[in-house]
Structure 1
Amino acid sequence: MIDEQTKKPSSFWRELPVLLGVAIIVAVVVRAFVLQTFYIPSESMENTLLIKDRVLVNKLVYDFRSPHRGEVIVFEAPNSWRNDPSEEDFIKRVIAVGGDHVVCCDDKQRITINGTPLDETYVYTNPDGLQDLPSEEQFDVTVPKGRLWVMGDHRSRSGDSRYNFIRSKDPNQATIAEDNVVGRAFVVFWPFSRAKWLSVPDTFEKVPNPATG
Structure 2
Amino acid sequence: MTSDDRDPTAVAEPDEPVSRSSHVDTRDRPKKKHLPVWQETILLLGIALVLAIVIKALFVQAFYIPSQSMEPGLVKNDRILVQKMSYWFGGTPQRGDVVVFEDPGGWLNAEESAGPTSAVGKALSKVGLYPSGGHLVKRVIGVAGDTIKCCDDQGRLLVNGQPLDEKEYARVGGADCYGPMPAGSSHCNWTVGPVPAGHVFVMGDNRNNSADSTVHMCLKTDRDCTKNPYVDVDDVVGKVFVLLWPSDHFTFLHRPDTFADVPDAS
Pairwise same-fold verdict (TM > 0.5): yes
| Residue identity matched to 2:155 | Q
Query: Which residue of the other structure, out of 141, 144, 151, is the alignment partner of 2:203?
Result: 151
Tell whether the 8 Å contact from 1:124 to 1:132 is kept in structure 2 after alignment.
Answer: no
Unaligned 5+ runs, structure 1: none
Give the deviation of 1:198 after TM superposition.
1.0
* Structure 1 residue 171: Cα displacement: 9.2
Give the number of aligned pairs: 206
Residue-by-residue CA offset, 1:126-176 (whole Å, 9 max, x unaligned): 6xxx67731222221111111100000001110001121156796970010
- Name the amino acid aligned to 1:134: Y
Distance (Å, rounded) in 1 between the aligned partners of 2:106 and 2:216: 9
The CA distance in 1 between the partners of 2:35 and 2:78, in whole Å, is 44
Distance in 1 separating the partners of 2:204 and 2:176: 11
Alignment match, 2:53: 28
Bigger fraction of residues in strand? 1
* 1:53 shift after superposition: 1.0
1:124 aligns with 2:175: no
Deviations 1:171-197 (A, max 9, x none): 970010000101111110111100111
Q: Which moved more, 1:11-20 or 1:158-167?
A: 11-20
Cα shift readout 1:85-142 (whole Å, capped 9, x = no counterpart): 862200000011010011001122111001100001111266xxx6773122222111
Aligned amino acid, residue 212 of structure 2: D
Q: Residue 179 of structure 1 is aligned with which of 210, 220, 234?
A: 234
Query: Retained in 2: the 8 A contact 1:123–1:132?
Result: no
Question: Pick from 172, 181, 190: which aligns with 1:139?
Answer: 190
Contact 1:132–1:156 at 8 Å: present in 2 too? no
Compared with structure 1, are the counterparts of its residues 132 and 57 closer, same or farther at alpha carbon in structure 2 (3 Å cutoff)?
A: farther
**In structure 2, what residue type is equivalent to 1:196?**
T
Alignment-mate amino acid for residue 77 of structure 1: D
- Aligned partners of 1:22, 1:155: CA distance in 2, in Å? 44
Identical residues among aligned pairs (%): 41
- Residues 31-180 of structure 1 mapped to structure 2, 5 A cutoff: 31-64=56-89, 65-84=91-110, 87=113, 88-121=134-167, 122-124=169-171, 133-136=177-180, 137=187, 138-142=189-193, 143-166=195-218, 173-180=228-235
CA shift at 1:202, angstroms?
A: 0.7
SS at 1:63's partner residue?
A: coil
Shift of 1:10: 4.0
State the TM-score, normalized to the length of structure 2: 0.70
- Match of 2:56, SS state, is helix
Can you give the 5+ residue segments of structure 2 that lack an aligned partner in the other structure? 1-27, 114-133, 181-186
Quote the residue 1:190 is aligned against. Answer: 245
* 1:199 corresponds to 2:241: no
Question: For residues 200 and 254 of structure 2, what CA distance do their matches in structure 1 show?
Answer: 18
CA displacement at 1:18 relative to structure 2: 3.9
CA RMSD of aligned residues (A): 2.5
Larger RCO, structures 1/2 (Cα 8 Å, 6+ apart): 1
Counterpart contact for 1:58–1:185, Cα < 8 Å = yes
For the structure 1 residues 53 and 132, does the alpha-carbon distance in structure 2 shift closer, same or farther, using more than 3 Å as the test? farther
Amino acid at match of 1:116: Q
The AA in structure 2 aligned to 1:185 is: V
Q: Distance between the aligned counterparts of 1:146 and 1:16, measured in 2?
A: 46
Contact 2:65–2:78 under 8 Å retained in 1:
yes
Q: Which has the higher helix share?
A: 1
